[in-house]
Structure 1
Amino acid sequence: MAKEPTLPKELTTLSFEDALKELEAIVQQLERGQVKLDEAITAYERGALLKRHCEQKLAEAKMKVEKIVFSADGSVGSQPTDLQ
């Protein structure tokens, strides 16, 4: 199984909103089909990394909002975290 490439440092510092904005721009560029093949491949690779970064940011946000709860019967669930 192939190991996923690590995210470049400059990409990990992007906010979710900035990464999503860049990803949307790449998708629009590729959909128009007005880029050379080499540029399209590079853009696609960058887009894949941006997608993964956005997914990680969403997972981090979800963990901050939810709290893992263990029930008396040993089952695991989650409940909203009190953010107040």
Structure 2
Amino acid sequence: MAEDPKAIGEMSFEEALRALEGVVRQLESGEVPLDESIDLYERGEALRKACQARLDAAQARIEKIVQGTGGVPSGTVPFDADGSQ
């Protein structure tokens, strides 16, 4: 398996998504030996979690948009990841 030189935590969302798509293509091909398939699956799961975390953070930021009079967005409120807001 050609390992991506960049650690998952250092990837942008788009890079992680492309890497995940590559893992899925390799696994779906059915041409990967079992041991390599297991490694690919584990990497794919780590990539999926990283992508989901980025999507969750983006959604939280969007949900914090403050609406002013007339329902027009007037700014944002900083997202507090520990949920104290």
TM over 0.5: yes
Which amino acid letter does the alignment assign opposite residue 10 of structure 1? A
Distance 1:51 1:45 in 2: 10
- Give the corresponding residue for 1:24: 21
Which amino acid letter does the alignment assign opposite residue 38 of structure 2? I
The number of aligned residues is 65
Which amino acid letter does the alignment assign opposite residue 51 of structure 1? R
1:10 CA drift (Å): 1.9
Aligned residues: CA RMSD: 2.4
- Give the corresponding residue for 1:61: 58
Matched-pair contact (CA < 8 Å) for 2:17–2:51:
yes
Which amino acid letter does the alignment assign opposite residue 47 of structure 1? G
Give TM-score, length-normalised by structure 1. Answer: 0.68
Unaligned runs of 5+ in 2: 1-5, 67-72, 77-85
Distance 1:65 1:81 in 2: 13
Aligned-pair identity (%): 48
